[in-house]
């Protein structure tokens, strides 16, 4: 129950924000209810006129009925248009907020969720909450008003019809209570399996080259078939549970409807009411039944909305990254723009969530115009260290700071020469991770992805430094040549050089290259690193590599040993190069 309360409270936060939109939706819905009631009176009078053989009055009443029908249709169309417009607006705003929340979430905590699951929650669940915020509470008002107004008219005209029409209400409550638990379980299981299926599809399409290379197409089709079969089995299982409840509900509705019809015939036969009144009562009885069914349908809708809300809350309530000193970082960067920024990691400890210790007392120093190499066996922590430097993951203990030669004034008035490594400090880095990180679009688009105002001259200069200019010049449209998704159309080595150029063009004071030259030949790799080292820009560069052939061009080499970093001397570096 406490979980349900928190879900409702979370949804109500959005409901309060969009109360004006909800009022517009409610007013349109109530106007439709009013027109429907007027239509009932007009229909009654028309039947009475016809049975009284008043031809002239029939034509006037018929014209009124046509006008009301057209008005009802117009209101319906306006309602759909306004609802769609508001729904899209609210949905986009909620999605934007959830999108920002996901991006701001702690990377390590967020990595527990599969990408396919994140997409399902962001897209489907956000839309469900947006639709619920807009329609759920107004529909309570609209359906209640429709029910009460129809009931009042019936009671004021003939209370016996109202009694017959109300008989189904207790049964509806009992049935809705039975459905509630089934619906909640069904929604949760459906969301889980949908996310699993979407995750499988997303992962398959992202790795389609590997699937083809290993001839795994039949195997993946079997896996998809299995997931689909599990999803169908789950859906049918819950659907079977609804069949009996639905049949009982329909049977009760039929009994009540025919009872009302029979009672109406009897009342007309006994001349207690007119044919027109009976027609109106039958219409109102149908309105009562429809309004009650609509109110009952809000129960599963509420469960669906709260279930979606919980799935979004799981993401929104993830721990957030620390951007609290963002203004200090900008001030620090401006003060040290000419001289550069150094990195200092001292006695750092880090362990994975499972308790596996990666670093214990690790220390690294890097200064402007230096290229520092981190070497060690695969899986020993080189990439993990870069993630710690970027504050994508958080150290357990030790010191991790950036420092410069000049003092700057913090927001709280202190004079400092250093800032901590956190998410806010990430703006001072350029990063080239392992793998192909090119995006679909032109080469120029990819370069401007990190620096939107980059000129063509700046792009060519960065390509030249990354040894990419030579092959880009040979492409049909130069920097305006189109790349496919994940850099399709160029080699891995070319994609790596473009990734390095993209990092260079940003002009960040610190550059991190994670196996970023692994697809290059040794000569090209050395040229790229030499170009970076010779650049006048005061850049601090840290490289991870498994190829020791470029180590003698680096200023300092750190090797991972016993969960620490040891500085290698020239002899040790030569030994590594000879043994490669």
Judged against a pLDDT cut of 90, whether residue 512 lies above it is answered with yes
DSSP state of 492: H
Higher pLDDT, 377 or 374: 374
Give φ, ψ of 476 to 5 degrees.
-50, -40
Higher pLDDT, 380 or 473: 473
Cβ contacts of 123 within 8 Å, gap of 6 or more:
95
Q: Which of 314, 316, 305 is nearest to 12 (CA)?
A: 305
- pLDDT tens by residue, 26-39: 887 777 777 777 77
98 close to 122: Cβ distance less than 8 angstroms: yes
User: How far apart, in whole angstroms, are the C-alpha atoms of residue 386 and residue 393?
Assistant: 9
- pLDDT tens by residue, 351-374: 888 778 889 999 999 999 999 999
H/E segment holding residue 260 = helix 217-269
Domains of the chain: 2-316 (1.20.1560.10), 326-434+511-578 (3.40.50.300)
Cβ contacts of 44 within 8 Å, gap of 6 or more:
274, 276, 277, 279, 280
- Residues 387-408 have a mean pLDDT of 90
SS3 content of the chain, % helix, strand, coil (to 5): 65, 15, 20
Instruction: Give the pLDDT confidence score for residue 211 in this predicted structure.
Output: 78
Instruction: Give the pLDDT confidence score for residue 54 in this predicted structure.
Output: 53
H/E segment holding residue 549 = none
Cβ contacts of 363 within 8 Å, gap of 6 or more:
345, 346, 347, 348, 564, 565
Judged against a pLDDT cut of 90, whether residue 465 lies above it is answered with yes
279 close to 44: Cβ distance less than 8 angstroms: yes
480 close to 442: Cβ distance less than 8 angstroms: yes
Judged against a pLDDT cut of 70, whether residue 95 lies above it is answered with yes
| Least confident residue range of 2-11, 122-131, 236-245, 541-550 | 236-245
Beta strand extents in 233-352 (DSSP E only): 342-351
Instruction: Give the pLDDT confidence score for residue 213 in this predicted structure.
Output: 72
Taken in order 139, 142, 144, 146, the sign of the CA dihedral is: negative
Judged against a pLDDT cut of 60, whether residue 559 lies above it is answered with yes
- pLDDT tens by residue, 52-77: 645 456 666 667 767 777 777 777 77
Instruction: Give the pLDDT confidence score for residue 580 in this predicted structure.
Output: 58
Instruction: Give the pLDDT confidence score for residue 578 in this predicted structure.
Output: 74
- Residues 118-137 have a mean pLDDT of 82
Higher pLDDT, 271 or 535: 535
Most confident of 14-23, 93-102, 198-207, 327-336: 327-336
């Amino acid at each position: 129950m406490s979980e349900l309360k928190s879900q409702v409270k979370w949804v109500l936060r959005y409901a309060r924000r969009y109360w004006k939109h909800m009022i517009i939706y409610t007013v349109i819905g109530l106007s439709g209810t009013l027109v429907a009631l007027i239509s009932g009176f007009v229909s009654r009078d028309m039947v009475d006129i016809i049975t009284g053989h008043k031809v002239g009055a029939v034509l006037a009443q018929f014209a009124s009925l046509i006008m009301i029908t057209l008005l009802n249709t117009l209101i319906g169309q306006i309602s759909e248009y306004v609802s769609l417009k508001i729904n899209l607006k609210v949905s986009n705003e909620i999605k934007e907020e959830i999108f920002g929340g996901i991006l701001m979430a702690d990377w390590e905590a967020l990595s527990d969720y599969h990408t396919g699951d994140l997409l399902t929650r962001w897209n489907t669940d956000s839309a469900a909450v947006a639709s619920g915020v807009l329609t759920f509470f107004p529909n309570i008002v609209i359906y209640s008003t429709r029910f009460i107004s129809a009931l009042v008219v019936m009671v004021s005209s003939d209370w016996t019809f109202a009694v017959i029409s109300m008989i189904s209400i207790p049964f509806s409550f009992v049935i809705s209570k039975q459905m509630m638990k089934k619906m909640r379980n069904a929604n949760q299981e459906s969301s889980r399996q949908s996310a699993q299926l979407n995750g499988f599809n997303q992962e398959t399409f992202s790795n389609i080259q590997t699937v083809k290379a290993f001839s795994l197409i039949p195997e993946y089709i079997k896996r998809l078939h299995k997931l689909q079969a599990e999803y169908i089995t789950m859906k049918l299982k819950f659907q079977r549970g609804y069949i009996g409840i639905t049949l009982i509900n329909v049977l009760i509705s039929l009994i009540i409807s025919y009872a009302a019809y029979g009672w109406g015939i009897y009342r007309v036969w006994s001349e207690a009411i007119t044919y027109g009144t009976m027609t109106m009562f039958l219409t109102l009885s149908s309105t009562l039944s429809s309004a009650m069914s609509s109110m009952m349908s809000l129960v599963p809708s509420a469960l669906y909305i709260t279930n979606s809300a919980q799935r979004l809350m799981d993401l929104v309530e993830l721990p957030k990254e620390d951007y609290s000193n963002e203004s200090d970082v900008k001030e620090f960067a401006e003060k040290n723009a000419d001289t550069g920024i150094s990195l200092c990691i001292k006695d750092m400890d880090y362990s994975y969530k499972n308790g596996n210790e990666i670093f214990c007392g690790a220390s690294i120093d890097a200064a402007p115009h230096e290229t520092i190499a981190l070497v060690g066996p695969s899986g020993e922590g080189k990439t993990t260290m870069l993630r710690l430097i970027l504050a994508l993951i958080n150290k357990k203990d030790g010191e991790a700071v950036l420092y410069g030669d000049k003092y700057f004034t913090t927001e709280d008035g202190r004079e400092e020469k250093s800032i901590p490594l956190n998410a806010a400090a990430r703006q001072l880095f350029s990063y080239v991770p392992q793998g192909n990180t090119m995006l679909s679009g032109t080469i120029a688009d990819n370069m401007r992805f990190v620096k939107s105002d980059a000129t063509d001259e700046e792009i060519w200069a960065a390509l030249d430094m990354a040894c990419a200019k030579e092959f880009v010049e040979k492409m049909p449209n130069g920097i305006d040549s189109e790349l496919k998704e994940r850099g399709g159309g160029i080699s891995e080595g070319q994609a790596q050089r473009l990734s390095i150029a993209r990092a260079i063009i940003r002009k960040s004071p610190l550059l991190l290259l994670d196996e970023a030259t692994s697809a290059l030949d040794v000569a090209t790799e050395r040229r790229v690193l030499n170009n970076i080292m010779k650049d006048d820009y005061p850049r601090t560069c840290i490289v991870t590599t498994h190829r020791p052939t470029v180590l003698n061009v680096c200023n300092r080499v750190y090797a991972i040993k016993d969960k620490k970093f040891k500085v290698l001397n020239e002899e040790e570096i030569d030994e590594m190069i000879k043994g490669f």
